[in-house]
Structure formats: structure tokens, C-alpha cells
Structure 1
Amino acid sequence: MNKSSQLLVLALVSAFVLIASADNKCENCKTLAKGILDGLDKTKKKNFEGGDVAWEEKKLGKYKTSETRLVEVLETYACSKDNHKCNALLEEKEDSIYEWYNKLQDDMSLYDYLCVQEAEVCCPEGTFGPECQECPKGDSGKICYGRGTCSGDGDKEGTGECICNEGYGGELCNDCGEGHFETFRNDTYIMCSLCHNSCATCKGNKSNECITCKAGFRQEENIDNEDEIKCTDINECVEKKNLCSVGTYCLNNEGSYSCEAWRCHPFCTKCYGPLHTNCFGCKAGLIMRQPFVCQDIDECSSGAICLGMYEVCVNTMGHYRCECARYFRRDESTGQCQPDPNIYSRMAPVSRVVPGADKAKQEGKPEGERVETGDAVEPASDSLSDEDIKRLAVAFVICLIGTAAAKGDLIWTALFFVSLLCAGLWWAADKSDQLMDHFTKHHREL
């Protein structure tokens, strides 16, 4: 049913309700009686207006019981101008209203006099139907056991059936209704309380005290107690298909479901919810690793892609990309990764220029000879000196002792620390000799 059809049905139902209420003679009479009583209440503190008030009260009587007051009430408050049924009844029963106003208003209610006795369109309170039969009471002496109302109470068109309050049921409302359980009862009174929200019938308000389950819940055996049952929510969104139209997704609720406006998670091709754990299908580049859960495939983990020189694989959502390693960049002409000159120009070591070295080369000095420079004597080649060989030998011996000491032997450990101490003293002595030579040379030059 489309929206326009729904609106048409709603309008017809509303019109039917209005017509039905307008044709209910008892309701029309109640409306008239209420309007008159409201008017009397609003005018109870008023007096005659203008002229000689004392003379008017002497000749016309007190305003409270005057005909002037009643006329004002009937014309202003009794019926609205567009309520034709009420106005017709007022015109028909105007004499009866004057009779009650002048003689009976202290002895009988306007409703009982006008609607029950004179117009005969209503029943006394507690009765119903054309013959004004008594509403059902049972043994309690209260209408519908005090837990409901009588259909048509005071109306000649009622059925007299009990309309039970929430949580109560039965012909006389003397039982507990669905979803409720009995907590107290005597001959004239019953009290019912709400079951757990998963129970249709129960013996208590806990989830393990269900007798039968509500719709939308599944009955399961309680492993901990075979005498008890457990009501588990049914996930309609998983167990049933095509519950919701395109543009909505099925959202499971406790005992039911609802169709919500949605956008599937980017991982999903089709879903029953907005999360990546609500997928019926996964997009390319992703895999369903467990039911309804889509996860990205790490293509880089295979190691079989991005095999170019200096290339690294970077995983992306649903795909991957090949990038150049750090300190490299892709050459636009060849497409290959090459060292980034902007970085390596800053990182390359600065070559040390020895003053006089070029001059020595030009004079034919043989390689390996020491070249005299302005401040110091530098070797003319990269060959190791005797001192360098000694240092390497000492370092090798210390490494061997340290390897043996790593096994936890106390003697080797002690030897390791002694060797470190000796190496330190040797280095300090060597440095002190160099400093002393430099100081002596400097003193001679001065």
C-alpha cells in the first residue's frame, strides 16, 4: 500500500469515528451537561452589571439563582456553535434544564436528571445497554474486579464486556495477562507483575523463569538446569532474507528487527548492517575470513610483487602499490628506483685533502713514502701502519676473551675486565706521549 492510499484509509477511519461519536446520543447529552456545569462554575462569582444592583437583586432575586445567569450560561457555554447535535438537544430539553436549575440542582446531578431520567439516552453509572444492566462484578463486588472498565458503562449502546488494564486478563480481569505473572491474590484482589522481556508467560521476572517465549525468541534448553528453559533472541536479519527494501538494512532488535537507512561499510558489496562484520559479500581485494566479517588481503605478505631494484611494497585497502625505498626516487625516464641525489649529496663523506700531496706526486715521490706537510706528517697511501696492526691484534684478543667470558666462567670474566683495563691504560699512555711530543715541538718553535 502506497502513502496516498494509507492517508485515504486514515481519513476514512477518522471520519467514521467522528460520525459515530456524533450519533452517540449519550455522548451528546454528556457534552451538553458538562457545558452547562462549566458555565455555572465560571459565573458563580458574578453579579448583575450596571443600574441599581440592590433593586435588581430585590426584584429579580440573587444572581446565583437568577434566570439571567442561566440564559447567559446556555447561550455562551452550553454548546459550541458548530455542534448541531448538542444545540438540537438543548432546544429540545430546555424546559427540563430550567426545571433542574430552579428546583433540583442541590438534590440531583444534571447528568442523572437530564441524560438518564429526562432524555433517557444514558444509563446510571455502573450499568450498560438498552435495559441498563449492571456491569459484571463477580465475587469481588467491584466492576471488572477493580482491574478494568465496563464497555459502555453509563451508555445504552455498550456491550458490558470488561476491558482489562495493562497486565490483566480474563473475562472479569481476575487473571494476569500475557507477559505478566501473579504476585498476590485474595478473594477480592489480584496483583500482577511484568515478566522478563523474553517471556510470553512466566513464573517470575528472571530470564530463566519463562514458561513460554515471546514471538521473536527461540526456546532452548538450559544446560545448567533441565527444568528451566532459556529464551534466546532470533536474529531475523541473518535467518531470513530480503526483509528490507533497497536503501535500508536490517537491524536486529531484541525480539524483532527494523529497517534502517544505511550505507554498507566500504568493505562490503551487500550487508545487513553498517559494520565490516555485517557483510554478505566482500569487495575485490578483501576476503571473508569468518562469517560476515570482511578483512583486507595483505598482498605484500607474499613477497612476490614489487621486485624491482630498491622497490618496496605498500599494502592499501583492497590493493597495494610499489614505492621506492627510503633515500631513493623513481626515475621518470626509466621508471627505475635510483638513489635520490638530493639526499646522498648531503650524506656522502667529505674527502680529506692533504696539503702538499699533489706536489709530492708531481715530484715523483714513490707511493708509501711519508709526505711532509705544514703541520704534520701524513702517509702518502692507505696502507696500515704498525700501530694500527697492534691495535687490531689487541682488539681481536679482547673479543676472544669476551666470547669465553660470555659462557659465565668467572676466570674468563675476570681476564676480560683486566684486558679492558690494560687496553685503556695503553691507549691513555699513547695519547699522553703524543700530547707531550706536540707540547715539546711547540715549545721549541717558540
Structure 2
Amino acid sequence: MTPTTLPEQRRILATALPGPRSVERQARRAAELAHGLGTTMPVFIDRAGGGILVDIDGNHIIDLASGIAVTSVGAAHPAVTRRIAEQAERFTHTCFLVTEYDGFVEVAAALNRLTPGDHPKKTALFSTGSEAVENAIKIARTATGRSAVVVLGHAYHGRTLLTMSMTAKNVPYKQGFGPFAPEVYRVPSPYPYRWPTGPENAAAEAFAALEEIVTTQIGAANVAAIVAEPIQGEGGFIVPPPGYLRAVQEFAAEHGIVFVADEIQTGLARTGALFACEHEGVVPDLITTAKALAGGMPLAAVTGRAEIMDAVPAGGLGGTYAGNPVACAAALGALEAIESEGLVARAREIEQRVRPRLEELVTPGSVVGEVRGRGAMLALEFVRPGTSEPAPEIARAVVEHCHQEGVLTLLCGTFGNVIRLLPPLVIPMDLLDEAIDVLVAAVGSAR
């Protein structure tokens, strides 16, 4: 990456945050945009790249969000922007279902090569993560002739009707939007920190609950798919205990159920493996990707066993914008950067650098109950001191402190009490250190 293509890679507080120009723009936003569109940090961005977001007031904000795990290669990586410009000059759209182009096929071939397993694979491209999950269900239902879908507690799979139904958290994702899609069934998530009988029992007891619910309440012969995030994202960066995902995969295979790994947030180097299910040695039947796939452009995919992917007749999959040529060009650049720059290893380096500092915050009486995650997908769960009672107000205060100091962090978790860290994998390490300094100070002020 050429340094001159990036904003200056240092934190600069030119004004209070938000600055006066962003405040003005917020007034216009309020007048023009639907209220239901939320915001995390009310600043308008002018430039971005590496680990920095530059707002219209000249503030340089350290990015620990990556657009929610999207800009893993940074928000202006030359391998991405160059390919976007070249493709946009040639054509921006034809609809692949009408007339074809190489980029769509090249992205599919790359995903067939990179996703876990050496079995024959095929891929279909879409525009958003929700679309990918929804189409994975369509494929699984067609392949099996069954209708039921099993998901986990604390899951997040999207905002469309089906994926919203699959999502666990009510506010803000489901409240007032029902009735929901039928034939979606929820089983307990193995949430080690909050498992009633202790973390050491989470894997076995959660799997036993899944097995019982599927066999006695739903009927295994009625289940098309079990869908799981290898690390639950919006639910709070919950890492399943060792052995759980493998047991679920084997149970699915035994009963002819399609096992779907939702890797939309975890996939493509984020967790220190190319795909998070690789940490558990799990090879899913279908895997969904989006977010980091195209460096900020809207692109998503379902990749899986060829015989399952081919179950849907011609014309049953697609969409007007699915696999847009500019987005495909961006994806080829992002995948090139991930492989050529060793970003899987870089995610592990980020964890090695950051996690020990975060774990120092977990002490008796601390507001931090647990640090968890993998690679550059790390989180802190906030609790009331001396208890495991969720403390969303403390998490919000820490986030606000960070924002005032020019470090962008995100909240998540079913209880709204988890701060998640998703830095770009290309962030300079000194900038990352500085951001963690600010976060640690913010936690200290919240004690």
C-alpha cells in the first residue's frame, strides 16, 4: 500500500466531537432521513483509509469498527479502488442473469477455492448478507424438501423478514415488525460466560438441548437447515465452547440436515483464520459471506457443496444487482490484498497485541466481566461490579468516552453491554496501541 494514498495515520482532535460542520449536517439529516436509521457516532466522513476516518471538521478518528467488519483491508485500499475505477469505466451494470461478465465467475471461483473443504463447490453471488442467508435457506429447503430452520439464541442473521425472524434480539431489530416468518425454531446458544451451570458445561448441555428440541419438538426429518455463526456477532461476540460446532455439524449430517455457517461478520481473515469455522475444524455444507468480501462494496455469497447448490432450478436464484460488476471487481482486489498481505496472520498479531491489555481489565470488582473473541474480533462484556449482571449503561459511557477522544468503537450484545473491537486488519500497530490506551482509560474512568 502506498502511504500517500492514505490520510495521515494519526489521531487528530481538531474540534470537539461532533464538530460544528457535522452538527450542521445532522440537522439536515434529521429533516431528510427516516428516524429509524440509527447512528453510532454522529460525524460525517470526508476521507478514510488504513486505520483512520477523517471527518468534515478535520478530525482524524481511529477506526475500531471497519464499517462493522466490512473494510478489513481499509476503506481505500489501492487494490480495491483501482479495480473499481477500471471496471466503472468499462460498465457499471448489465445484470449477470441477462448478459454475463468474467468478474462474477472469478469471484465465485475464488470463494470455491478459499472456503473450507476439498469437496466440489459452487457459489451464487448476491448483494447483502441478509440476501445470502435467505438464499442459503432457499437452497437448503429445495435440496432437502424440508421447511424447518433451526437457529441459536443470541443469533443475528439480518433484517429481512426471514432473517429478522431468525435473529434473536427484539429491540431494535424485531419490535413492531411482526408477524414473523414461520418454521423458524430457536435452541439455546452455548454462551459460556452466562451458562447457568458454568462454562465447562456449556458445550455438552447446549448440544443436548439442541438434540432434544430437534428430535422431539420439531422432528429431525422436518429440518432443512441448522444455521450458526461460528462466533456470534451482534449477540455479543460469543465464542462457542470447543466441540460444540463439530457436534452440531455431525448431528446435522446424521439426519440429512444442511449445516450453514453464517460467516458474514467472521469470514475472510477477521478471526485469524480465513474462516472462523476453521478454528473448530468444521466444514459446513453451505457458507455465507458478505461484509469484508468486497472492501466496502455491496456483495455477498453463498458457497457450498455442488450437489446442494445445484438443487435449485435455473432462474430460482439471483437478483437485479446480484454480483454487480463493480462490486465483483472490488472483491477481487480485497481478496488479493487479504492473501498477498498476509492479513490472516495480521489478525492473529492484533489479538496477541491487544488481548493481554484487555484481560488486565478483568479483576475482582471490575466493570469488565469477560474479554473474548478471536483474532481482530474482540470484545469486552460490561457488568455491575462484583456481579455478572449486565451493565449497558457502563458500556455506553465507555463508548461515549472513546468517541469524545476520537476512537470509534461499537456496542453489541443481546443486553447492549458489550463493546466490540473490529479494527481494519491494515491498521498501523502504533495507532492501534493508542486506541487501546484510550479504551483502557475510558474503562478506568467508569469504575
TM-score relative to the length of structure 2: 0.15
User: Max radius of gyration: which structure?
Assistant: 1
Query: Bigger relative contact order, structure 1 or 2, given CA contacts below 8 A and separation 6+?
Result: 2
